[in-house]
Amino acid sequence: MGFLLMLLLPYRNMNEDDEIMENSSYGDKNFLSPSFWCNLRKVSDISHTKKLPDSHECAPTELDFHDDIISTEKNLDHLQCRLTKLLDLNPFINASMLDSNVRSFIISLLVVCGEQSSKEVWTSEHSVKVMTDIHRMLCQIFLVDIENMFVEFESKWNFCVCKLLLSSLKIKLQSKSWKQHPAAFKCYRWILFSMKEEQMCENIEDVLPPTLVAIDDYEMNNQILGIECLSHIMTNITRTDLCSLGYDDVIFSALEHLLYTKEPELIEKLVPCLTQFLEKVEKGYTKKEDHLQCSRYDKALKIILSNMELEQYLTKRKAYIRVLPMYLDSMGLPMLRWSKQLLRIFEDYVFVDDGSGGISTKMAIEALKVFILHTWPAIPNKMDKVLELLLKILLEVTELDSSIVMSKEASEEILNLVEECLGLAIKASPLTAKELCAGMQDSFKNENFNSVVKRVLC
């Protein structure tokens, strides 16, 4: 039975095991012949996930890869067996360089590692488990740390694995072909999230295009994948590398286009990523740079606020108000240009119950708090409108309609937040606030309302 299984394994050379055992020292020039690495690379190459037909338009399913999964499992078992024996021999302990055949095998095998890195329609539990083991052994054989694999391949072996991997995937990840190579994009993501900041900056011209292709797709799931990749890139790249070749303009154009798509799941991913991007490219290095001039913050906020004002679907409203405080906090004082529209939106989103149990109300007040904190120099000129809104909110919270479902904890959090906002607004212009609130403390038969007003005016 064992003999038959060996015959079934592809590219199995019956003399390879003897060759490994007989040549136990890397110092011997004949230790591993080029044919050994070529044969291993061939097995690795045929383990790459197949291309889908050009006519294939639907999302891939397991049926599209059923036969290939079986053959891939056999190939990976074969590779696992070979690498296990190599690991026992520790052949590269005294080596100083890698042969071209060895390098080709490493690149090919790492592509398979990326494709098989987690459960997908083209993988199986067995293939993922075996590939995880193969990846571990590969790093041990070549004496590199698995967590810093790309860095150590370059430092120990002068082998730019990261760049070569991205180059090997470039044709598959072009806008006209990437849908036929779903595993290639999976591999790209695996490479991307394994890269360190230095490699990200050095390979930005190869890193960005696949992400932008995914963002530009018409399917929301692919757009979200692209946004997640871009967010990771933003975390690991400098402003200089991003702006020097005009990549910032291309990225903003892609994200701006998506702002017109109002799917809740997309909104909650898109706006944080956009915020992260704008913080990177719009915040100046020096105090001399003018932060108050119109910028891409304003272009994006114009679209966001227009969408929020016109939106009637509760799920979409909830998505927008969850991300607004973060965006405004990042934008800072320039939001003052949008104060009239912002105050209208704060009021609208506070007083319309969307069934979130007070979460959206709280987030709307959080956004108002951010507005007050950043625009306090101008609060005296808008004190009447800000105070009116805050007092209306306070009255609403202290006389909560029984039809609104809200826990006691949520109600108390909102009440404390409103009191905090009132305190901040009054602190910005105490005399104006006391004039506007004169005689108000005892004008309502509402003890909670009156007590809050007294506290903030003291």
* Mean pLDDT, residues 141-156: 94
Express each pLDDT in 230-252 by its tens digit. 999 999 998 888 888 889 999 99
What percentage of the chain exceeds 70 in pLDDT? Answer: 87
Helix axes 314-331, 339-351, angle to 10 degrees: 140
Amino acid 440: pLDDT? 66
Q: Which of 53, 44, 40, 58 is nearest to 99 (CA)?
A: 40
Ramachandran angles phi, psi of 10, nearest 5°:
-70, 145
Amino acid 402: pLDDT? 55
Name the range with the highest mean pLDDT among 258-267, 378-387, 390-399: 258-267
Is residue 317's pLDDT more than 80?
yes
Distance CA 113, CA 161 (A): 13
107, exposed or middle or buried, with CB in 10 Å at 0-12, 13-18, 19+?
middle
Express each pLDDT in 189-243 by its tens digit. 999 999 999 899 999 999 999 999 999 999 999 999 999 999 999 999 988 888 8
Distance CA 424, CA 416 (A): 12
One-letter amino acid identity for 415? L
Question: Which sign does the torsion angle of CA 34, 36, 39, 40 carry?
Answer: negative
Amino acid 186: pLDDT? 96
Distance CA 213, CA 208 (A): 9
Distance CA 377, CA 387 (A): 15
Cα dihedral angle (167, 172, 175, 180), rounded to 10 degrees?
-160
Is residue 118's pLDDT more than 60?
yes
Distance CA 366, CA 395 (A): 17
* Mean pLDDT, residues 294-310: 95
Distance CA 457, CA 446 (A): 17
Is residue 6's pLDDT more than 50?
no
What is the CB-side half-sphere exposure of residue 300 using CA atoms within 13 A?
30
Q: Which of 16, 10, 44, 12 is nearest to 32 (CA)?
A: 16
User: Distances from the Cα of 167 to the Cαs of 43, 108, 160, 162, 399, in angstroms?
Assistant: 21, 12, 11, 9, 64
Alpha helices by DSSP H, listed for 161-246, are 161-169, 182-192, 197-202, 204-215, 220-235, 239-243
What is the CB-side half-sphere exposure of residue 286 using CA atoms within 13 A?
2
28: Cα separation from own chain's centroid: 48
The mean of the pLDDT values for the chain is 86
Distance CA 85, CA 239 (A): 46
CB of 64 closer than 8 Å to CB of 121: yes
DSSP assignment letter at 139: H
Q: Which of 54, 52, 13, 19 is nearest to 33 (CA)?
A: 19
For every residue of 63-98, DSSP letters joined together read: GGGHHHHHHHHHHHHHHHHHHHHHHHH-TTTT----
Provide the greatest CA pair distance for the chain.
Answer: 99
| Tokens describing residue 455 | 């506290």
CB of 241 closer than 8 Å to CB of 286: no
Express each pLDDT in 26-74 by its tens digit. 333 444 678 889 999 999 999 999 999 887 777 888 888 988 999 999 9
Is residue 9's pLDDT more than 50?
no
Distance CA 421, CA 386 (A): 10
Helix axes 359-375, 314-331, angle to 10 degrees: 20
Buried b (16+ CB within 10 A) or exposed e, 232-242: bbbebbeeeeb
With bands split at pLDDT 50, 70 and 90, how would you rate the model's confidence at 25? very low
Distance CA 104, CA 455 (A): 73
Alpha helices by DSSP H, listed for 311-446, are 314-331, 339-351, 359-375, 379-398, 408-428, 430-436
